[in-house]
Structure formats: structure tokens, C-alpha cells
């Protein structure tokens, strides 16, 4: 009897999702309830969805939570935890592939949005380099290293190797601030200036250093305090 009740509820919910889809107005716990249909069989996942939101505060909080903490919630086993942790990496691939269809960048705003999408769900600080041709065509996006570049720095040799491999004539340095505050530090400025000078000596121009934080970005080239680095 209980199985048939759950089966009927799941079928009705699937039909509702097929008809109306999932959007910003869909309650967080309901999104989780639906997802968990595919990892938890013949069990009410509504209560589990509520418990997850109560513990982690939001859908994004659930997707960002470590697997060990997810599995500490009653009803969440390894299969469900892996399912939930796969959402953000899949979303990042989707956004990246959508952005990669854009062959040419027409300005810093487009470059910044491209960079923001590359960092969706990345919890640690990570540097990257965007390779461009002289017309702003995307030649490559490559992650460089993990860690605070103010303390561990970046390998200029690696950067040069990547840019030469892509036959780039222009580049954009990118890194993220997981704290959400996308303001450059003094060390960020020093590293940017040194990299710009190094690249200019081999005929490649660093046109910006974009810092990503909390779904937004700061362009050092657009800041009057740092614009002279890129001239």
C-alpha cells in the first residue's frame, strides 16, 4: 500500500515537472525531492528534501556541501550524495560549452561573463589564462594552479608555454576570490605588472586581469588604479 502511494505521488510530480518545468519559483525542497527520486527508490523524499534545506539553508548550500556532511543527513546515502554533488560540475560544463560557442569577444563585459561561468561551483582559489588572437577570438582557456596567487604566485613559464601553444597575441589573466570579494590586492597588482612586462617582451599583450567573486567580476584594466599596467 505504501509503495503504491509513493509511486502515485512520484508519477504526479513527474507529470507536473514535464508540464511546468523547474524554475526560480519552484521551492528548493521540491527540487531536491524530485532529484532524489532517481537515487532513492520507494521512499518519501519530501521529508529528506526539507531536512537538507533546513541543514544547509538553500539549494545552492546543499549542492556546495561536502559529501560527508550530506551523508550525515538521515536518508542520504552515498548514491544520493554523489548525485547531488554532480549537479554543479555538470552545470559548469553546460555553461562552459555554451560560452565556448562565442568565438569573438567584443569587450571586457563579455570576457568577464565568460570567466564567471568558468568558476561556477569552484570553492578554492584558482588561476587561469584566456588566450586570444588579435581580433579577440577565443583560442583557449586554461587553468593554471590552485591556491592564493598572492602567496603561491603563478608560473610565468607555464603561462608563456600555453600562450605560445595557442599562437596567442593577447591574454587575460583570471583568478577567483572564493570569499566573494573581488577586489585586487597589492600582491595581485604586482604579479599582474610583472606578467604584463614579461609577456610584452615576447610580443604578447596582457589586456586584463579579471577577478571573479560571488557571481560577478572586477576588471583591473577598467580600474583607474591599475589601468596603466595594461598600456
What does the pLDDT look like over 82-116, one tens digit per residue?
A: 999 999 888 888 877 766 555 788 889 999 999 99
Cα–Cα distance, 174 to 144 (Å, whole number): 10
Hey, what's the cell of 69? Answer: 556532511
Cα–Cα distances in Å, from 96 out to 20, 72, 88, 93, 120?
26, 32, 12, 5, 10
pTM: 0.68
Q: Quick one: what percent of the chain has pLDDT higher than 70?
A: 93
Mean pLDDT on 31-48: 89
pLDDT confidence tier of residue 1, bands split at 50, 70 and 90 = very low
pLDDT at 228 over 90: yes
Amino acid at each position: 500500500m505504501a509503495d503504491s502511494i509513493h509511486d502515485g505521488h512520484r508519477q504526479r510530480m513527474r507529470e507536473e515537472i514535464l508540464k511546468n518545468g523547474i524554475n526560480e519559483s519552484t521551492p528548493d525542497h521540491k527540487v531536491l525531492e524530485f532529484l532524489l527520486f532517481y537515487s532513492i527508490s520507494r521512499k518519501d523524499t519530501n521529508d529528506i528534501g526539507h531536512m537538507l534545506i533546513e541543514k544547509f539553508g538553500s539549494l545552492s548550500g546543499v549542492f556546495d556541501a561536502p559529501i560527508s556532511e550530506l551523508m550525515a543527513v538521515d536518508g542520504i546515502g552515498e548514491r544520493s550524495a554523489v548525485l547531488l554533488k554532480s549537479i554543479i560540475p555538470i552545470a559548469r560544463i553546460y555553461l562552459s560549452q555554451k560560452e565556448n560557442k562565442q568565438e569573438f569577444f567584443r569587450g571586457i563585459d563579455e570576457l568577464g561573463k565568460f570567466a564567471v561561468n568558468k568558476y561556477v561551483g569552484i570553492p578554492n582559489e584558482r588561476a587561469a589564462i584566456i588566450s586570444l588572437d588579435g581580433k579577440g577570438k577565443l583560442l583557449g582557456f586554461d587553468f593554471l594552479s590552485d591556491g592564493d596567487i598572492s602567496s603561491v604566485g603563478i608560473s610565468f613559464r607555464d603561462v608563456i608555454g600555453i600562450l605560445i601553444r595557442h599562437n596567442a597575441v593577447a591574454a587575460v589573466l583570471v583568478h577567483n576570490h572564493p570569499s566573494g570579494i573581488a577586489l585586487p590586492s597589492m600582491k595581485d597588482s604586482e604579479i599582474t605588472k610583472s606578467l604584463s612586462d614579461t609577456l610584452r617582451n615576447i610580443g604578447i599583450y596582457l589586456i586584463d586581469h579579471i577577478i571573479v567573486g560571488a557571481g560577478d567580476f572586477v576588471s583591473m584594466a577598467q580600474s583607474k588604479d591599475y589601468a596603466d599596467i595594461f598600456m
